[in-house]
Amino acid sequence: MKKMKKSIIVAIGALVVCSLLLSSGAFAGVGNNDKNGFQVNGKHYNLNIIGVDKHGEVGDSMGHTMFVKLDGKTRIYMTQDTDGEFKVVDRNGLDGNAEFNIAPGHYNIYARALGKPNGKANITAYGNFTDAMEGTTLILLGYVDITREKGKPQSVNINELFYVDVTLCTKINETTGICEEWVVYEDYWVFDIEELLEYYWEYYNKDLKLLQVRFYECTLDPTGTADDYCRWGDGSPIVSTKKTVIPA
């Protein structure tokens, strides 16, 4: 099933302290938010992206927080080291760049906006990939708009930023210079794509004090029967495919 796009998130009005939040338990049904407004329950990693005008010494990354411009653009680079762990590598995004590493595995990823109403953020995901025709190619992978509205806390599934569609040339004809073989990824976990060189968010902030992002480890089960299956926002399972296309 195709993913359901969702863009607007309804969130709560209190700024949450920056911390790593871990809990246990089975995943809740779609639409059944936990007491903090998230659509699933269970063990997770919590990342707080904090919008500020200025800050003092940021210290180390053990607070699981990242500072971005309150009004402006910050580029957030993301990696997934095979032997790494969840870690904010560079917290200070006020210079224009920040960096975050994701632990190995696949995840259901949810976000909610906090702070005073009317703050908003646009997140656009990009990937740099190797390509036989271009050498490297920059591809727009997806985007979401998140706004702090008044009302009951809610979260939004942002898996579309991480499970992506990418088509790349893998072989060219040396005589004609025409591509003669492609690899096509559909709804594929971006860090599993062999040709990926770099993945990042362009994070455009407009007065959003805090975006809270949670990573819940999940299983790529196309039947959706696993308790922790990887899912789209409508609850349907993510079906990832990879195929090679050779023109006749």
pLDDT tens column, 114-163: 888 889 999 999 999 999 999 999 999 999 999 988 776 578 999 999 99
- Tokens 């309804």 appear where? 10
pLDDT at 205: 96
Ranges of residues in the chain with a pLDDT under 50 are 1-32, 34-37
pLDDT at 83: 87
pLDDT at 32: 42
Residue 106 · residue 217 · CB < 8 Å: yes
pLDDT at 115: 80
DSSP class of residue 190? G
Residue 239 · residue 221 · CB < 8 Å: no
Length of the chain: 248
Residue 42 · residue 215 · CB < 8 Å: no
Using a cut of 0.75, tell me whether the model's pTM lies above it.
yes
Domain ranges of the chain: 45-124+138-162+196-238
pLDDT at 28: 31
pLDDT at 153: 52
pLDDT at 59: 64
* DSSP per-residue string spanning 102-170: PPSSEEEEEEEEESSTT-EEEEEEEEEEEETTTEEEEEEEEEEEEE--SSS---EE-GGGTEEEEEEEE
